A and B are shown apart, each in its own frame.
Chain A
Amino acid sequence: MFSWAEGACASLGKELCLSGTKLSSTPLYSLHKALGAHFAPFAGFDMALRFPDGVLAEHRAVRAQAGLFDVSHMGQAELVAAPNVMEAIFPMALSSLKAGAMRYGLLLADDGGIVDDVMIVRLGEEKFRIIVNASRRAEDYALITARLGDEGTLNPLPDLALLALQGPLAVSRLAPLFSGLEAMPFMTARQFEWQQVPVLVSRSGYTGEDGFELSLPADHAESLARLLLDGAGIVPAGLAARDSLRLEAGLCLYGEDMDCTIGAARAGLLWTIPKARREQGGFAGFDGFKQRVAEGETNYRRVGLMLEGARPARAGWKIHLPDGEGEAIGWISSACVAPTSPHPLAMGYVRREACQPDAMFFLKQGERGLPAKLHPLPFRPHNYYRG
């Protein structure tokens, strides 16, 4: 003991644990410390990994009640640009995105590799809010700024916190504070005021549950968090639970399930690019995107795998045919224990021809291995509120 420290760092987004580098804190750091959280470095931040009752209890609580996450480490920025300029940068349908609506999509490198997955909220005719992964903030902002040229601006919003309240109790917990919130459909956003503080509330999240994300000045985040945690059934939840929840929901984690070597087709994220745009292009990375498909990047598919028994597999393990012999036919990109699924879960990439329904595989690390079955994604149906 302990390989856990390296394991925890290594499997949470492949981030370097920069020893000797001062870590930043999120707005809820003091509160999390007071609640007895275990911390770990992630993307340059000292993040609450889990709370005293443990990650399995947090995961269950989010599915059955609600969990409050501090995801302020993620990058939030304002983008001021015409919709056609935005569409030249992002392979997404942004012209047709109404004010108050939001979309999930990709930022592609010129060679078609995925630079990041992002959320874009339309706030006005030429005004957008973008949320990016903490680990990619610098790369994303530099690339977007370069592509904007003098046709728009990106203004980082480092003074904003981002809280996520996820789970079936979220709406009833928030409705008294934000009048009319319960009517918001999934993937919409609205400006509210709470105690004279502006809060951009979106019905969104990354757990597969109904829930909301609240963007507000960092100075007020702790007050709001304390208020929300005061409700029955609302628990604080950390990064580890966030990871097992999103995996069970079939959602990708940048740095694990995709990186700049993987394109949209292989990652199973073609659905984020409107069909017409996949054919006509007009976005940065289109040539690379087409070339990857032409060169057969879909020879591997991103799949879900369900283990047997209780022993988990881990990211980085190789995937073999059931006899475990011969060459690997794939690899595990991320794995977790999800207490609301019957067995441990994994996501990975497998050779296309091996991906028959209910196909069995053998997940190997060195001489040790575990059987697993192909499982459709998501592992658990989503509970989004469609109105």
Chain B
Amino acid sequence: MAEKLYSSQHEWIEISGQTARIGISHYAQDQLGDIVFVELPEIGRKVAAGGEAAIVESVKAASEVYAPLAGEVIAVNQAIADDPALVNRDAEGEGWFMEISLANAELPQNLMKADAYQAFIAQQDS
């Protein structure tokens, strides 16, 4: 099973060879509160590392979801378009946003493993 890496912007990415699945972290959905709408990218869209890839709207505000790595969108999760609350219920599982084919083979330096991310958010909250 591919492990998740986390960005400082609270997205996760799960890499399997040349493709990767992207979502927002459990912490992110908790901070956002009830999610009421998601705007997913079209298939074929190219996203930059750290670039806007989707929009998630909570009760109070709209937030950008950034692609942790560069690539091309090859799939989006219609389930969260139909039921945005799924992102709240299972942000790191069934609430995934999109899948991309990776532009580069190199693994990034700036992404965190799970325990480093937990430490990162613990520090943010203090």
A-to-B contact residues, CB < 8 Å: 1-4, 6-8, 11, 38, 49-50, 54-56, 240, 244, 309-312, 314, 336-337, 344
**Residues 40-55 of chain B: 1 if any A CB is under 8 Å from the residue's CB, otherwise 0?**
0000000000000000
Q: How far is the CA of A219 from the CA of B31 in the complex (A)?
A: 31
Q: Do A3 and B62 form a contact, CB below 8 Å, given A311-B57, A337-B36?
A: yes
A55 touches B64 (CB 8 A): no
Most chain A beta-carbon contacts within 10 A, residue among B24, B37, B60 = B60
Q: How far is the CA of A50 from the CA of B9 in the complex (A)?
A: 23
Q: How far is the CA of A8 from the CA of B63 in the complex (A)?
A: 12
B59 touches A1 (CB 8 A): no
Identify whether the interface residues of A are mostly helix, strand, loop, or mixed: mixed
Q: Do A1 and B64 form a contact, CB below 8 Å, given A310-B84, A312-B57?
A: yes
Add 14 more A-B contacts to A1-B64, A312-B59 (CB < 8 A): A1-B10, A2-B28, A3-B64, A4-B60, A7-B62, A8-B61, A38-B33, A49-B33, A50-B33, A54-B34, A240-B60, A244-B59, A311-B37, A337-B36
Q: Which residue in B11, B28, B34 is a CB contact (below 8 Å) of A55?
A: B34
Give every chain B residue within 8 A of A38 (Cβ-Cβ).
Answer: 31, 33
Q: How far is the CA of A38 from the CA of B57 in the complex (A)?
A: 18
Q: How far is the CA of A3 from the CA of B57 in the complex (A)?
A: 10
Interface size for B (C-beta < 8 A) is 25
The residue of chain A having its C-beta at the shortest distance from the C-beta of B85 within the complex is: A56
Complex A-B: 22 CB contacts under 8 Å? A1-B9, A1-B10, A1-B11, A1-B24, A1-B63, A2-B10, A2-B28, A3-B64, A4-B60, A4-B63, A7-B61, A8-B61, A11-B61, A54-B88, A55-B59, A56-B36, A56-B59, A244-B59, A310-B36, A311-B37, A336-B59, A337-B59
B66 contacts partner chain A, Cβ-Cβ < 8 Å: yes
**Residues 3-27 of chain B: 1 if any A CB is under 8 Å from the residue's CB, otherwise 0?**
0000001110000000000001000
Q: How far is the CA of A62 from the CA of B115 in the complex (A)?
A: 39
Closest Cβ of chain A to B47, distance in Å, is 15
Give every chain B residue within 8 A of A2 (Cβ-Cβ).
Answer: 10, 28, 31-32, 63
Give every chain A residue within 8 A of B69 (Cβ-Cβ).
Answer: none
The residue of chain A having its C-beta at the shortest distance from the C-beta of B61 within the complex is: A7
Q: Which residue in B36, B39, B61 is a CB contact (below 8 Å) of A3?
A: B61
